[in-house]
Structure 1
Amino acid sequence: MRPRPYTLVAAVAAVALSTVVAGCGSGGSGSGDELGVGYFQSATIGPEVLVAGNKDLAGKVDGTFKLNPIDSGVAGLASLRGGAFPFISGVGNPPVVGAIAQNTRLKVIYAEYYDAAQLIVPSSVKTNADLAGKTIGALQGSSEDFEIRGWLKTQKLENKVKVVGFPSEAAIAAAYKAKKIDAGYVEIAQALDLKQNAGGRQVVTAEQIAELGYPSVNVLAVTDDFAKKHKKVVQQVVCQFAEATKIYTGGQADSYIEKAASTVGAPASQAVDATTVLPFVPVSEQAEQLAPGGTVAKAYKLTGQFLVDQGRTTTVPTDAQIADHIDSSYVEQAVKDGCGQ
């Protein structure tokens, strides 16, 4: 899911977005019509905000982005299912796989970025094996929960370490400082705090865990109904998300992020710090990410088992079900023709 505010300064409270994120229509497709996008409010400037906040990107889409704040991936996907908006951005593995299990008619169409969480331990933990018998705090039922449990399996520690679920990143950090848990798997802001102010050290990151076979990829999804009716617009949106990715990774991100930050009322300097730490998925890797049996499909299969183990779903979605909810054609087209450039 979209990170709780990633910032190297401090976690930023959700900003008030009254007129900017007023309700949106879900059926528009022509020039000037509203294109509703569910997104997470934070200092992080995701592709949806970068596009909406920069006219040279937004002007290449037939419609006007209307950003709808969501509090969680589960709630956001419920709103999408109910017709509140046709797109949702920055949503992670568990909510999407849960939606697939409920046969929500959507397609995952762009892989945005991996999580940027870190496992923080005290100095007394010298090696990974020292975690045996210890407790690790993680955001309950989240992408991070999935990731850290996967990492423990790769270290053959899954039956030796207890993962304790918490309702928020702040609660994990507080429990770590109070020595109620032995380690915390937390986002950038809290990780930095625990390293600087609580003597913690970093053991592994979400990006490294992804390389070990347990990736959580935050994605863009669209409803089947909207995609069928407005294929051209969906292609335009994916193309501009691809352009946003190139901006993030091409050395020109700061000015774009600052401009987009003003659109949603986020402080520019904090937005730059919060966004540039994210491990964005390069455009060159998009087709593989969304291909049948690719990174996203494999991650969703593993996440399905995680959700069953957590008691949140009763069955793991089949390969066919997962494939039916991923559409790589838009990124394939974007890579093929460079979006007309």
Structure 2
Amino acid sequence: MAVYSMTGYASAASPALVSPKDEATTTAHGTPPKAGVTVELRSVNSRFLDLTFRMPDELRAVEPALRELLTAAFRRGKIELRLNAQRDADTALPAPQPEQLGRLAGVQDTVRAWLPQAQLLSVHEVLQWCRGSATGEKLDEAAIAATRRCIAGLVEARAREGERLVGILMERIVKLRELAQQAQPLVPQVVERQQQRFLERWQAALDTAGAGQSLSAEALRERALSEAAAYALRIDVAEELSRLGAHLDEIERLLKVGGEIGKRLDFLIQELHREANTLGSKSAALELTQISVEMKVLIEQMREQVQNIE
């Protein structure tokens, strides 16, 4: 299964449509009026699925159907749908039919019977009504068909972007593993150096105390080694490195499985950041501190990319 980004763009248009009823309605050039729709989908990242519709009022009736299509195709992301009606240039001057004019006249007479002060319809208003009703019944169907194609295009776009994000995350995983391998042998070296310092310090104390020293040299050596062991436990980061490796394994597994993994990846990124912080707080050498900083940079880069995954 693919990994999908929440970022993408797609567009689709329906062909010019002529409804069966419009075949009797001709324009000034003697052809039936035609109309179609164009659909655009823009998607960015969001914690949940957030849908926005921008469309003319004449197509508002199809909004529930379009919403159902989008919710079936996507789970997360802020998606904006723009739908525009396109009409043939010839429909600018439709030829009103007697049936249409008769209906308009009847409506106008009824309105004026109740509202004598109402103004008569203008030629422009009559033409607008005739053009608006010419292909209205088919626009809804065209809008749904075009939206289906646009959704398929957006799914493909989000899949391509998701594939690119997977590549970026895999690169960061490789670098984090390399840093973990560099950190692994540093702790024993630091412990060994600190143990030697303890022994030298206790030896210096023994030489200074001389004969008045109450503890034997062997007892002082054992105390020095005991403190060195306690120090080694305090700075031991083997557990943090082990958990970090386990989190990286799980992230890599999820990226290979695909699907809706964004929220799980986000949680694992938080855990990676926690382990890197602990590694930095326990660091007793400059090398470990630098490794911790580099890890945090890589993890932050991964977090930015994971926020775009569905």
TM category (shorter chain) comes to under 0.3
- Structure with greater helix percent: 2
Q: Which has the larger radius of gyration?
A: 2
